[in-house]
Structure 1
Amino acid sequence: MSPVFHRGPWAVRGRGPTGSGPRVVRTAYGAGVPSTDVPAASHSATATEPIAAAHASGSPIALTDRRPVVPAERLVAEMVPPPRFADVSFGTYIPDPTQPSQYEAVQVLEQFAATLGGGNGSAPKRSWFRRSAPAPTGPAGVYLDGGYGVGKTHLLASLWHAAPGPKAFGTFVELTNLVGALGFQQAVRTLSGHTLLCIDEFELDDPGDTVLVSTLLGRLVDNGVKLCATSNTLPEKLGEGRFAAADFLREIQGLSAHFRPMRIDGQDYRHRGLPDAPPPYTDEAVTAAAARTPGASLDDFDALLAHLSAVHPSRYGALLDDVAAVCLRGVRQIDDQSTALRLVVLADRMYDRELPITASGLPFDQVFPEEMLRGGYRKKYLRAISRLVALARDSAK
């Protein structure tokens, strides 16, 4: 058996049968989630475990009582911009007047949108029984690089809304989850029928992801799919500081070749001119807020972190179904990387759904220790802090 390169969110163990692409073995951020944890494509769209509802009328929801099952069909259907960006457009993006790169990004993406679909609103038909036509020369997409809160996701979603269908939008983690649920070849077939694939938060955290996504995007580009991605790292720097980039230089360079990189400068709009993280509430105040807020959840922070280790990250969105606000007691600093990475994914899903957070314990800008903030996942943790602080501030309004 071939060696496993890395036990991260995804591990690639050698290759599958000839032509089948990488053989993917799923793990949940090193937590040892069995490979069966992501439902297979053959599962029925209605095959879900019962999800605990609110205990009684008016009682808070306990996220720790929920064990959602997400069929593969839902993963495909939900490849659209999150609710926060459901109605955005290039016209609703307000560039910072001191940042010319933001104006340039809008112009480039508007021009890119105009080239999609060959003018008829659909991707070219492809045959699975003969070799695809050669991909056009030049980059097949646009790569938006920049700091936190400069509007990259807003612009990515605006491109998705402007593009003809079929089209798909998802985070990097959601894309790898989709491959795990469908299988590599089925994922290629499903996405190859699309005009555009938008990938948010594009960062490579382990060698397995590098091989998996590089191969997937290469197949999609060959089949005429256009790409757009966002990240906080330039394409040729992906993976730097996280693993031996030299060992995977070929794959990283291959990914970079698919994109025209664009740098977007600016300050984090979520905190521009705003105070630091709001002071935490008392446990009693958090409990009272949950009781009086319809659709609120109420959990102890430690219990929720433990529960996340038993739920695959692809299901964190479903964990928040019908939740209107999140209340947490006893927020503390996290002392291990696997738990921290799970919180990052949950923070992204809460931010997507615009769920205000009322919490006691430590402020969210102190939840990740300095050692983690200096490590290879620094960008993920800083993004999570930015989003958690914004959601905590929303609850204080």
Structure 2
Amino acid sequence: MSLQKMIKPSQQYQEQLNNGQLTSDSDQSAALAYLDGLVEALCRPVVVTTHKGVMVWRYEDGVPEPRGLYLHGPVGRGKSMLMQSVFDAVPFPEKRRVHFHPFMDELHNRLHKARPEVNVDVMLYIASEIAMESRLLCFDEFFIDHIADGMLLGRLLDALFQCGVTLCATSNWEPDNLFKGGYNRASFLPLLKVIKKHVEPLDLSSGADWRRKGGPATSIKGGDPAAEFTRLALMAPRSETMVLGRHEVAVRGHKDGLYWFDFRELCMRPLGVADYMDLCEVATTVMISGIPDLRANVVDSASRFVILVDLLYESRMPLRLFSDLEFDELCPEGPVAFEFRRAASRCHELMRLNCTL
């Protein structure tokens, strides 16, 4: 596999600096040497071996698979952009980038359906299935808030590394702070040990939130959603319903790929990852009005909003939001607060995207 086919992360970064898409950042620049080395290591020739239905990637030169990457730091520091540069640089097709929420949803479905051969560990069987599709697996927004998920993921990652898969991940938390203070954290430590053994942590904590600096100011306070819908759709909004998963959801207005919802419909009902993914598949622009003061006891609604925004961000979905308060005024308290601030940062970026129908 020729290295001439790839554009290294450092070259991608320099090109974006040259055309004004990026402003130089010391933490980002310092990470580029490791990213370039990782890409070169991944591009070595590989062979595939199988035993009892379990597939393993091995490098022809006999050198073990490279340590992956764990980019951590506050919101808006360019973690996802740098990971994407690694993903774009590798020229082989067996790679996947996925947001953490839908991946965990998928893992539970795979566990339910798995039928491994006799004497084959079910998690190794699932890891082999994933490895057949992806020898580079990129996780966006790695975050553990349930100990059961942490224990499952620890077993899966250990099995994936046995199959020769390389992991890249972004997170707002350094590895030692994942699930810190959580109930029965000792059960989480095997996952932490696996992560530290197989990935290289790179800190992007200094610098600015580039999403907030990357364009004109955005505001969610005030505004007239009906007028905005009419401006975009060239027609007045009419109420209807749509089906997301098993749920019938009220739509305030719809034309082609433009959908306008009330916050209550999307985030104050028991919708989940699969439902929001259905929305991302059909929408080209999303409007959400009536975002309430989330400082009141609405943790579930705030958590659903965070998941929704993460999936909209993964889809690069143009977004229009409307509330009586600004993000800083309605931020919830408690464990979800940090995740909400990340979602708010992502909203500022999505609100600058041009709407499409």
Q: With structure 2 as the length reference, what TM-score do the two structures score? A: 0.74
Equivalent residue for 2:207, pick from 266, 286, 289? 266
**2:35–2:86 Cα contact (<8 Å) kept:** yes
Equivalent residue for 1:190, pick from 104, 129, 136? 129
SS of the equivalent of 1:344 reads: helix
**1:124–1:224 Cα contact (<8 Å) kept:** no
Alignment RMSD (CA, Å): 3.2
**2:99–2:314 Cα contact (<8 Å) kept:** no
Give 1:385 shift.
0.8
**2:221–2:323 Cα contact (<8 Å) kept:** no
**2:220–2:321 Cα contact (<8 Å) kept:** no
Q: Go from structure 1 to structure 2 and tell me whether the alpha carbon gap of 1:367 and 1:322 turns closer, same or farther (over 3 Å shift).
A: farther
The match for 1:392 is 351
Any gaps of 5 or more consecutive residues in structure 1?
1-86
**1:88–1:154 Cα contact (<8 Å) kept:** no
Give the Cα separation in 1 of the matches to 2:106 and 2:99: 11
Q: Go from structure 1 to structure 2 and tell me whether the alpha carbon gap of 1:140 and 1:368 turns closer, same or farther (over 3 Å shift).
A: farther
The match for 2:273 is 313
| 1:353 pairs with 2:315 | yes
| 1:126 pairs with 2:56 | no
SS of the equivalent of 2:212 reads: coil
Equivalent residue for 1:237, pick from 177, 190, 197? 177
The match for 1:299 is 261
Cα deviation per residue 1:328-359 (whole Å; 9 max; x = unaligned)? 23221233222211111111122223333333
The one-letter amino acid of 2:199's match is F
Give the Cα separation in 2 of the matches to 1:278 and 1:91: 37
SS of the equivalent of 1:125 reads: strand
Give the Cα separation in 1 of the matches to 2:280 and 2:54: 44
SS of the equivalent of 1:228 reads: strand
The match for 1:381 is 340
Higher strand share: 2
Give 1:276 shift.
5.7
**2:72–2:171 Cα contact (<8 Å) kept:** yes
Give 1:285 shift.
2.1
SS of the equivalent of 2:281 reads: coil
Matches within 5 A, 1:1-397: 90-93=10-13, 94=16, 99-117=25-43, 119-120=44-45, 122=46, 124-128=48-52, 140-163=67-90, 164-183=92-111, 185=123, 186-193=125-132, 194-264=134-204, 265-272=206-213, 274-275=216-217, 277-289=219-231, 291-292=233-234, 295-307=257-269, 309=270, 311-334=271-294, 335-363=297-325, 365-366=327-328, 368-371=330-333, 375-394=334-353
The one-letter amino acid of 1:280's match is G
The one-letter amino acid of 1:191's match is I
Q: With structure 1 as the length reference, what TM-score do the two structures score? A: 0.67
**1:210–1:252 Cα contact (<8 Å) kept:** no
**1:145–1:234 Cα contact (<8 Å) kept:** yes
Number of residue equivalences: 303
Give the Cα separation in 2 of the matches to 1:133 and 1:195: 7
Give 1:395 shift.
6.4
Question: Structure with the greater relative contact order (CA < 8 A, sep ≥ 6): 1 or 2?
Answer: 1
Aligned-pair identity in percent equals 25
